[in-house]
Amino acid sequence: MTNHETHTTESRLQRGIRALAQIDGEAGQKVVDSLADIAPDFATYLLEFPFGDIYSRPGLDLRAREIATIAALAAMGNAAPQLKVHIEAGLNVGLERGEIVEILMQMAVYAGFPAALNGLFAAREVFNHRDGLASAA
Amino acid sequence: MTNHETHTTESRLQRGIRALAQIDGEAGQKVVDSLADIAPDFATYLLEFPFGDIYSRPGLDLRAREIATIAALAAMGNAAPQLKVHIEAGLNVGLERGEIVEILMQMAVYAGFPAALNGLFAAREVFNHRDGLASAA
Amino acid sequence: MTNHETHTTESRLQRGIRALAQIDGEAGQKVVDSLADIAPDFATYLLEFPFGDIYSRPGLDLRAREIATIAALAAMGNAAPQLKVHIEAGLNVGLERGEIVEILMQMAVYAGFPAALNGLFAAREVFNHRDGLASAA
Amino acid sequence: MTNHETHTTESRLQRGIRALAQIDGEAGQKVVDSLADIAPDFATYLLEFPFGDIYSRPGLDLRAREIATIAALAAMGNAAPQLKVHIEAGLNVGLERGEIVEILMQMAVYAGFPAALNGLFAAREVFNHRDGLASAA
Amino acid sequence: MTNHETHTTESRLQRGIRALAQIDGEAGQKVVDSLADIAPDFATYLLEFPFGDIYSRPGLDLRAREIATIAALAAMGNAAPQLKVHIEAGLNVGLERGEIVEILMQMAVYAGFPAALNGLFAAREVFNHRDGLASAA
Amino acid sequence: MTNHETHTTESRLQRGIRALAQIDGEAGQKVVDSLADIAPDFATYLLEFPFGDIYSRPGLDLRAREIATIAALAAMGNAAPQLKVHIEAGLNVGLERGEIVEILMQMAVYAGFPAALNGLFAAREVFNHRDGLASAA
């Protein structure tokens, strides 16, 4: 389990920085940077607990973890910026666009059609942004 | 794709009944039965839309679908009976107990520690119930 | 508008007591009584603002007001005791059982199937309790 | 019951298209169109289940159904675009502006003053947009 | 207790106007003004119940009350405009910026990291706006 | 700042165990114990992050922290067991019963009357349990 084998030698913070880069890429680093002037300790906690502790655990691969996160954030419906970051993260760890669309559609069953719709519109924004970057390259 | 190949010959209701039996087993049938005296049409909708339409779609396997559902219900934190049904369903479609525990722990990051704790206690109840059934057999 | 015509002579509290009795009946009085030892002032606020101010306003009849309340409480899904009180209240102000079932079923669209299911099971409990009282009479 | 009498001859999709046009008008069609490139199947489900199944049911008129929907969306407070669509829909099916304002004010009791305030500001936006269209005609 | 001693001579509305000015300052008055054309009665209720009744009660000082309000609004995560008004209000009644940051960070434990992050970004906006006003003076 | 001064010598876990004992007393230990068979790692995280990191921070005293937690849990309304633990914790760190009642009543403004009522009933249960223990002593 690559995520886990260096646990003994790395600190939680180092492990979190590595996991954040792998999962959220630039979007994650932007969140961390944006905390610098208001709550720098919170940036540390964010790296240490969610990424250094939770996402670095063996027992569930990153693909499954992002399915869970996308579903939860779409269902709660009150964290649009984080949902977009994790749709991006889902693509980073190997989910296909069509799979993300399936997860979001399924949320209509558990959180209602508005939650599913708002999740799908967030996904469209992320996908279009990626396509724009690709065509601009 | 076995779930999907019979779409043209089966009705949505038939497909939903088959999907419900495969996913939720007895617990799902109990929910359907319990609607008989108050809202029998709603039992039909429940079979047709979530199970006949959504869970029967190709594009995301049932294991991934149950990860999404368990995460969403634990994060929302206001549907304890349905969370237990889907922890059971997760086991039915191939999730291991340890994987379900990982999903629920991860919800601490997105919905807070109380949501994760209440999800874990629901899982313990489901697991213990299964063990009781097994040891009674 | 009978609810409103005595506004000038009645206090908000008196108006609220009258509205609570008309709408929630005994169940409402039990809630007020249950606050006596922990927060008696809150019982006064409950009578004055929701019942003396809001439910006593002209511009929307009590039947429409209870449709709104039942829908909101079922959709939020975190206030089971109050949902039952207002299913009872809906019946008190003229909603038929079948209409309440329609409202609750519709919540599947906006808040998901679990919210609708839990609302329907709450309704069944209220209806059965009423039938028990009727058959015991 | 006009909504229901053609059930046997119309498909769920046809019935849903007709109900959506009657209830949500242009705003509904825009939502359906906006799904075309990301999740066309979800547009079909949206037409079939909420509109073809639920809103087309006899047993509760459209005016009562929109009271329930406006109340639920305002109370949940996490689906602003859909709340606006249904304030518009409420006007389409015969609710008066003052009645919609009453429903939203009442949500202060069940979901708090912020939910009511945000609902009222959404209503003001919809009303002003309508007035702008009227004065531009 | 200065907030309370004039209860007998002031009306609830007068007391609410005074409490709103003390707590929310200009931001509160803007909310009241913005209700004038859509729901003027709701502006009265807002002054009377939250401010004239609740915030004017002895038994908990305004500093403690704003800690509770900031925590609740950040945790619910669906009332961004009101959260900003109450971060401002917290500063008005004596909370330090660092204390508000602590409250918001703590919400990661109870409502998840996205709720805490969105609360912190709201605080940064309020703090920056204050600094801009100060430097412009 | 007594909570903080030993940071360099204590581990996060040790600090968390100490903070949990001080704040939640027996109720906290019970939660930790109840995780032993289902998710022992989660008990460690619970001690380390909320208690070892957050509650042990200087910058906000424990009384203020419990005001925030009680408010948040009552407002969210979906974590009854944790709300009771923290009403108990509030008493442990110096909040008076009357102050807790004020916090809960105030939640009517931000999360609605049902959230406040259910919070008050939770408080009554905790207070009565304490009185029972006292009279049994």
pLDDT, tens digit (0-9, with 9 covering 90-100), for F100-122: 999 999 999 999 999 999 999 99
pLDDT digits (tens, 9 = 90+) for D8-65: 578 999 999 999 999 998 888 999 999 999 999 999 999 999 999 999 999 999 999 9
Q: Is E76 on the interface with D (CB under 8 A)?
A: yes
What is the pLDDT at residue B135? 81
Q: Which residues contact F82 (CB under 8 A, 6 or more apart)?
A: B113, B114, B117, B118, E110, F73
Contact A112 C114 (CB under 8 A): no
**D97-111 and D80-92 are packed helices; what angle lies between their axes, rounded to 10 degrees?**
140
Of residues C10 and B136, more confidence is placed in C10
> Between chains, do F110 and D108 touch, taking CB under 8 Å as contact?
no
Stretch A16-43: mean pLDDT: 94
Mean pLDDT over B66-91 rounds to 97
Beta carbons of E46 and E32 less than 8 angstroms apart: yes
Confidence of residue B8 (pLDDT cuts 50, 70, 90): low
Q: Is C98 helix (H, G, I), strand (E, B) or coil?
A: helix
For A73, the closest chain E residue by CA position comes to E114
* Secondary structure element (H or E) that encloses residue E12, with its range: helix E12-23
F1 touches chain E (CB under 8 A): no
The model's pLDDT over D83-123, given as tens digits with 9 standing for 90+, comes to 999 999 999 999 999 999 999 999 999 999 999 999 999 99
* Partner chains of B (3+ C-beta pairs under 8 Å): A, C, D, E, F
Q: What is the pLDDT of residue C1?
A: 37
State yes or no: pLDDT of C7 exceeds 60: no
Cα–Cα distance measured from residue E9 to residue A33, given in angstroms and rounded to the nearest whole number: 53
Q: What percentage of residues in chain B have a pLDDT greater than 90?
A: 86
Domain segments of chain E as ranges:
1-59, 61-137
Higher pLDDT, E6 or F62: F62
Does residue D68 surpass a pLDDT of 50?
A: yes
Best of B41, B57, B60, B76 to mutate (most D CBs within 10 Å, chain D): B41
Burial of C25-42, coded b for 16+ CB within 10 Å and e otherwise, reads eebbeebbeebeebbeeb
Residues of chain F contacting B124 with CB distance shorter than 8 Å: 37-38
Q: In this predicted structure, what is the pLDDT of residue C8?
A: 59
pLDDT of residue B40: 97
Task: Confirm or reject contact between F136 and chain B (CB < 8 A).
Answer: no
CA distance B128 to chain D (A): 35
The pLDDT value given to residue E8: 59
Tell whether D45 lies on the interface with B, counting CB pairs under 8 A.
yes
pTM of the model: 0.94
pLDDT at D109: 98
Region A22-28: mean pLDDT is 91
Rounded to an integer, the average pLDDT of B63-67 is 98
List all residues 6 or more positions away from B133 whose beta carbon is below 8 Å from its beta carbon. Answer: none
Query: Can you give the pLDDT at residue E3?
Result: 46
E112·B111 Cβ contact <8 A:
yes
Which chains does chain F touch, 3 or more C-beta pairs < 8 A? A, B, C, D, E
* F132 at interface of D, judged by CB pairs closer than 8 A: no
The complex's ipTM works out to 0.92
Q: Which of D78, D101, D115 sits opposite E39 (nearest CB)?
A: D101
pLDDT band at F8 (very low <50, low <70, confident <90, very high): low
Tell me which of F97, F106, F118 to substitute to probe the interface with E (most E C-beta atoms closer than 10 Å): F106
Higher pLDDT, F119 or A27: F119
Residue E136 reports pLDDT greater than 80: no
Q: What's the CATH number of domain F61-137, 1.20.1290.10, 3.30.70.2340, 3.40.50.2300, 3.40.50.300?
A: 1.20.1290.10
Provide the number of CB pairs (under 8 Å) joining chain E to chain F.
101
Can you give the pLDDT at residue E107? Answer: 98
Band the pLDDT of A133: cuts 50, 70, 90.
confident
CA distance C12 to E12: 12
More confident of the two residues B135 and A51: A51
Q: Mean pLDDT throughout E66-80? A: 98
| pLDDT for res F133 | 81
Task: Give the tens place of pLDDT for each residue, F57-106.
Answer: 999 999 999 999 999 999 999 999 999 999 999 999 999 999 999 999 99
Name the residue of chain A whose CA is nearest to F54's CA: A45
Query: What is the chain C residue with the closest CA to D48?
Result: C109
Q: A85 in contact with B at a CB cutoff of 8 Å?
A: no
